Amino acid sequence: MTEDTSPILRVEGVVKYYGARAAVSGVSFELWPGEVLAVVGESGSGKSTLLNSVAARVRPDAGRVSFLTRHEGMVDVHAMSEAQRRLLARTDWGYVHQDAVQGLRMNVSAGANVGERLMALGERHYGRIRSEAASWLERVEMDVARIDDTPATFSGGMRQRLQIARNLVTRPRLVFMDEPTSGLDVSVQAKLLDLLRSLTRGLSLAAIVVTHDLAVARLLAHRMIVMKEGRMVETGLTDQVLDDPQHPYTQLLVSSVLQP
Amino acid sequence: MTDTSTVLPALRVDGLAKRFTLHHQGGVELPVLEGVSLEAFRGECVALDGPSGAGKSTLLKLIYANYRATAGSIRVRRESASAEVEVTRADARTLLALRRDTIGYVSQFLRTVPRVGALDVVAEPLLVGGEADTSALREAHRKAQELLLRLRIPQRLWHVPPATFSGGEQQRINIARSFIRSWPILLLDEPTASLDADNCSTVASLIDEARARGAAVIGIFHDARVRERVATKVIDMERFQPRPGSR
């Protein structure tokens, strides 16, 4: 495996206030191609705000987020034009919402949900779009016969699969995931996690996964960041942080669950 | 021809200490290891010996960077790079690379992934990093089958997820998974703990083969006969016990 010489994402000193309260205060990290990073912490720890600041969905009050673009090297995502940022979000980035309803168009067919991002890249050939959509439904283990049904008729697990297919069809290099499995039944969760694991490994995807579930982090992530009150209190390899936690807060988190 | 690789150790541990601080038990400190110094050369099998609680598993976990050292250094020679890596100071990315190309580790327990069959669990270490083409996949499966046969895993179990296997079967899956790659450094934590005599002897042969191709093996073998059979050097871990009251 060749070694990359540059991170795909660099986050430097990101700060985000809501009113007088700092939801994120001074978080920095790098992500390298193919790496999956978990951001864990309890609700209110700032992990979702961090994700949205990095994914350019909210504008941080301070700090910088740079992404390694295909043609122009590292680019400050918050300094891009709105049009550039939208193109990035539809092509090289993916964003998997906790609630699939937010990430899907509920009134168009499953096939069209997957095909939409291809069309954003300029693909106009209906047959190719449909066959690519069908192949992605298969990859996320959905019944291809449901290609013309709308997600409104799908179960929570199927919607989440469809959302993943919709995101991955353009072969993004970086995917953001906000609690991707937490709204689902336990059995459905396990299958989806397994799917996410094989997709991220198989496609060498870089990903940031926000989760409150340490087992999800253990299964999916190479590295981990622990957030508390907007600060990064600990970081390291996932198994290091879970098996030999150093910070009092991480020790509390790890000891509060059954066998993470 | 001067081959420095036979002269320099594959692994050097110097003055290594490990102490756990339990913040929620009144900040109590548990010293486990102190002043650990050892070397492992290519072709050696170093056995860590000592009673339960002597910190044998802890030392392997420190070398694998699963635990973080309190003091001291661990220097590993990486195949693809000329310089040594100091494990206790390396960044996450270097450690991940080290685990990808240099250090293999057999833990006492198999951490199973739901729904993945035994053959794929064993083949996985050959397929990390990028999409595998079909010939790489076929070759990985062929090697996995060979190991499963040698370790006497019945063929009807090959496509079954190992979560339902017995302890001994899971352990053999774990072993197969770790011997499928030619790791330059191989850490073995009780690889024969729940195995019968035939399988113990297979594992001993696998260790000999790894040494023959130049691996440095560091292991814990509770069974004295297995230890005598495979070890080229035995380290008494009681030497590294922290003295009461010492820091």
- Does residue B47 register a pLDDT over 60? yes
User: Looking at residue B48, which CATH number applies to its domain?
Assistant: 3.40.50.300
What backbone phi and psi angles, to 5 degrees, belong to A250? -65, -40
Range of the domain at B190: 7-22+29-102+184-196+216-247
The verdict on B72 and B121 lying in the same domain is: no
Determine, yes or no, domain membership for B211: no
Separation between Cα atoms, residue B77 and residue B101, nearest integer Å: 11
Residue B58's identity, in one-letter code, is T
The residue-averaged pLDDT of B153-182 equals 92
In chain B, the number of structural domains is 2
CB contact under 8 A, B92 and A236: yes
Separation between Cα atoms, residue A81 and residue A69, nearest integer Å: 14
Give the angle B172-B175-B179 at the CA atoms, nearest 5°: 140
Answer whether A233's CB lies under 8 Å from A242's CB.
no
pLDDT tens digits for range B82-94: 789 999 999 999 9
Cβ neighbours for B58, distance < 8 A, ≥ 6 positions apart: B18, B32, B33, B67
Which of chain A's residues have a Cβ under 8 Å away from the Cβ of B109? none
Determine, yes or no, domain membership for B203: no
Paired strand residues for B48: B235
Mean residue pLDDT of chain A comes to 92
The domain limits of chain A are: 1-92+175-260, 101-171
CB contact under 8 A, B68 and A252: no
Determine, yes or no, domain membership for B170: yes
Separation between Cα atoms, residue A249 and residue A42, nearest integer Å: 11
* pLDDT confidence tier of residue B1, bands split at 50, 70 and 90: very low
Task: Looking at the complex, report in whole angstroms how far the Cα of residue B197 sits from the nearest Cα belonging to chain A.
Answer: 32
> How many helices and strands in chain B, by DSSP H and E?
7, 9
The verdict on B131 and B173 lying in the same domain is: yes
The verdict on B143 and B239 lying in the same domain is: no
Q: ipTM for the complex?
A: 0.90
pLDDT tens digits for range A194-217: 888 888 888 889 999 999 999 899
The verdict on B79 and B188 lying in the same domain is: yes
CB contact under 8 A, A244 and B66: yes
Above pLDDT 70, what percent of chain A?
97
- Interface contact B113, partner A, CB < 8 A: yes
The verdict on B188 and B88 lying in the same domain is: yes
pLDDT tens digits for range A67-95: 999 889 999 999 999 999 999 999 999 99
Range A1-92+175-260 has CATH code 3.30.1330.30: no
Mutate to test the interface with B, among A194, A233, A240, A259 (most CBs of B within 10 A): A240
Which residue among B182, B204, B237 closes a domain? B182
The verdict on B41 and B70 lying in the same domain is: yes
- Interface contact B128, partner A, CB < 8 A: yes
The CA distances from residue B197 to A40, B49, B149, B192, in Å, are 45, 21, 16, 9
pLDDT at residue number A194: 83
Identify the sign of the CA torsion B155, B161, B165, B167. Answer: positive
Which residue among B160, B182, B204 closes a domain? B182
- B185-189 and B216-220 as β-strands: parallel, antiparallel, unpaired? parallel
